[in-house]
Structure 1
Amino acid sequence: MDVLSATSRKRETYQVQLQYSVLWECALGIAAITNTPLIKTLEKPVEYWQGIKESLPTGLLVELDFVGNKNTWKALLQLLHKKDFTDLTEFTSYIRNLSMRDFTFICLPFIGRSYQELRGSASLGQESAIKEMMKITNDHLFFPSYIEFICQANGKRLKEHLINVMTGWYEAVVKSDSKKLHTILQTDYVMRNKMIDKMSSEELVEWATGGIVYMPEPCVHNVLLIPQYIYRPWTIEADIEGTKVFYYPVANESITPNDRYTPNNLLVLKHKALGDEVRLRIVKLLYEQDRTLQDITEQLDIGKSTIHHHLKILRAAKLVEILDAKYSLKRKAIDMLSKELDLYLNQ
């Protein structure tokens, strides 16, 4: 059936906001060192994390073990989203002064606007609400056990735990490098902020996160981008009321801000990927339509293993993805190339 549109309304999108703070870096560092399965995949080597553990006081190690068992790093991030805290003292004072009901409510994960009343009931200790929240989040890696813990925990002790682990980590790991970290985060924030008026919201999110395509969702009107150094190369995704959050890895040039000739690593990967005749041919084929490996092999009359190698390079550069068992060109990534090059040349 043919349909004629009688509306001029444009497709809804979201607004992008940016924030940065060493406090985010502190909380994410706590999350990183307590995530044993993931730690081997982080940019900083395992030896770095082992060295930190060996240098920490026993009391802080006990608190970190508790974080690892109960995932209380999630509570730290939830609390950090409530205000634009100027320093650690303001953050810890905020935690101490919260009522127990508000404290529990904030620590619980946001699972959707329609479940806010349920979240409130769970924060008051209503058993049926707690069980319902656990049921709704059953497919999440740790939310059910985390929800149960937050609702049943001794609020006063949990507050002290969060304050102790945040303060201990800041003093032992972050404080000595806080000025350097602040400069790195600020540099990346300024660079991304310059592009808000030059890119669409979706382009900006994809560029900042290194390839995440986030399409508008109902009831999500804002995307918050928060640069982080400690969790490179990973982007961490979270949800708060009406906002999608991406804690994204800072760019290479933000780490060496005094060297204006350092290009963004992804920009280098993209241009290297396109600097080959076979890969350019593949890009043109995929520009026309999505194709299977067999389709590309037949079109170019080149062996499957060779084509697969070239596709792997294009995927690593975030120019190509797999959708429904076919290779697909990420057109926005191609469209953004000129803007990214312009930013590098003029920074």
Structure 2
Amino acid sequence: MEILHATGRKRETYDVQFVYSALWECALGIAAATNSPFINTLEKPITYWEELKSTLSTSLLNHLDYVEKNNTWKALLQILHHLDGIDINDFCAAVKSLKDFELKFICLPFIGDKFQHLREGAALGEEGAIIEFKKITSDHPFFPQYIDFISHSCTNELKTHLIEIMSGWYESVIKPNLEQTIKILQTDFESKIEMKEKMSPEEIVQWATGGVNYLPEPSVHKVLLIPQYIYRPWNIEADIEGTKVFYYPVANESISPNDRYMPNNFLVQKHKALGDEVRLRIVKMLSEVDRSLQDITEHLDMGKSTVHHHLKILRAAKIVEIKESKYSLKANVLELLFKELDRYLKQ
């Protein structure tokens, strides 16, 4: 697909690819279990995580504490991207075989081609590079601390931790439900591949993620979409060389594939949001032009708190977004909704 610019020039958009694996679910499960600020927002209730942790060994619980302190779930994901298409035994063997520089370079975050020299310097333990790398990522919630930790870590200790947390979680949490997990991920993967043939790259990303409107960037040639169940309802975004990554929540129908009447959770959310006279009026207004809260309030002749409530519902359904302090209808959201409904009715 190509995108026309106002200048009349054309540029290619990104290529969309899908992969799935129980190891992604394993690493993301570790990330979810150690993300205390967000654990109450996950689909699985807090009681699930409490009961799960009560079944884990003291050693594995200690490793989870280590993950929460140092964000080493990020290292697990980085390594999986580097190794690609492996099982748990291959993962452990590969981590063991990595040289000091290789391991640290892979674990450190990618923040752009022009900063790769800082990533390399930090992996080598160069203090100047570490300081500059941390400074450039200072607005990120955990990158500076994570960069400092990885750069100064003992490689053998880091290897031992990554192997034990990954293999321990896999054996205790993933393996007992491996067949069901693979079935869910594979079902979602296959449904997205089917729709990929019917949608533009931007549309398939928006549909799979439930509303992320990711526009092409000059340095990004590929978008990698990875289905996950454990972190629902959240999308997790990451960057690797030349690639934007979205670990997106699997659809309802992938969890219950034998129920052909099960609708996609995003489809339900959007239709619920649109099933109100006030919200439909707001959508029509925003289809004409972006508007401020004050503008919408004056046109509807309603209280600001009431209008804000309706806008909050539309934003939660990924129908409306905020751009430069004004409310805006997400690009192609209604056209894509019709395609989603058509697919549901015909499946």
Residue identity matched to 1:277:
E
Residue identity matched to 1:207:
W
| Deviation sequence 1:186-242 (CA, Å, 0-9, x none) | 111111111212111111111111111111122111111111111111111111011
CA contact (8 A) 2:105 2:123 kept: yes
CA contact (8 A) 1:85 1:91 kept: no
- Give the Cα separation in 2 of the matches to 1:64 and 1:6: 51
CA offset at residue 41 of structure 1? Answer: 1.0
CA offset at residue 6 of structure 1? Answer: 10
CA offset at residue 68 of structure 1? Answer: 1.0
| Deviation sequence 1:49-93 (CA, Å, 0-9, x none) | 111111111111111111111111111000000132331111111
- Give the Cα separation in 1 of the matches to 2:277 and 2:62: 56
Cross-structure match for 1:43: 43
Mark the runs of 5 or more structure 2 residues left unpaired by the alignment. Answer: none
| 1:220 equivalent in alignment to 2:232 | no
- Give the Cα separation in 1 of the matches to 2:58 and 2:171: 14
1:191-340 aligned within 5 A: 191-340=191-340
- Give the Cα separation in 1 of the matches to 2:22 and 2:290: 43
- Give the Cα separation in 2 of the matches to 1:138 and 1:331: 31
1:15-34 aligned within 5 A: 15-34=15-34
1:174-185 aligned within 5 A: 174-185=174-185
SS in 2 for 1:237: strand
Cross-structure match for 1:84: 84
| Deviation sequence 1:259-302 (CA, Å, 0-9, x none) | 11100111112223223333222221111111223323333344
- Give the Cα separation in 2 of the matches to 1:274 and 1:95: 49
SS in 2 for 1:37: coil
Q: TM-score, normalised by structure 1?
A: 0.94
Q: Structure 1's 59 and 329: CA in aligned 2 closer, same or farther, altered over 3 A?
A: same
- Give the Cα separation in 1 of the matches to 2:179 and 2:279: 43
- Give the Cα separation in 2 of the matches to 1:277 and 1:139: 41
Q: Which 10-residue stretch deviates more, 57-66 or 304-313?
A: 304-313
| Deviation sequence 1:13-66 (CA, Å, 0-9, x none) | 211111111100000111111111111111111111111111111111111111
Mark the runs of 5 or more structure 1 residues left unpaired by the alignment. Answer: none
Residue identity matched to 1:57:
S
CA offset at residue 8 of structure 1? Answer: 4.6
Cross-structure match for 2:109: 109
Q: Percent identity?
A: 64
Q: TM-score, normalised by structure 2?
A: 0.94
SS in 1 for 2:52: helix
Cross-structure match for 2:69: 69
Residue identity matched to 1:94:
A
CA contact (8 A) 1:192 1:208 kept: yes
CA offset at residue 308 of structure 1? Answer: 3.3
Cross-structure match for 1:343: 343
CA contact (8 A) 2:213 2:330 kept: no
- Give the Cα separation in 2 of the matches to 1:277 and 1:268: 17
| 1:131 equivalent in alignment to 2:135 | no
* Number of residue pairs the alignment of both structures matches: 343
| Deviation sequence 1:163-185 (CA, Å, 0-9, x none) | 00001011111111111111111
SS in 1 for 2:83: coil
Q: Which 10-residue stretch deviates more, 270-279 or 194-203?
A: 270-279
- Give the Cα separation in 2 of the matches to 1:73 and 1:306: 41
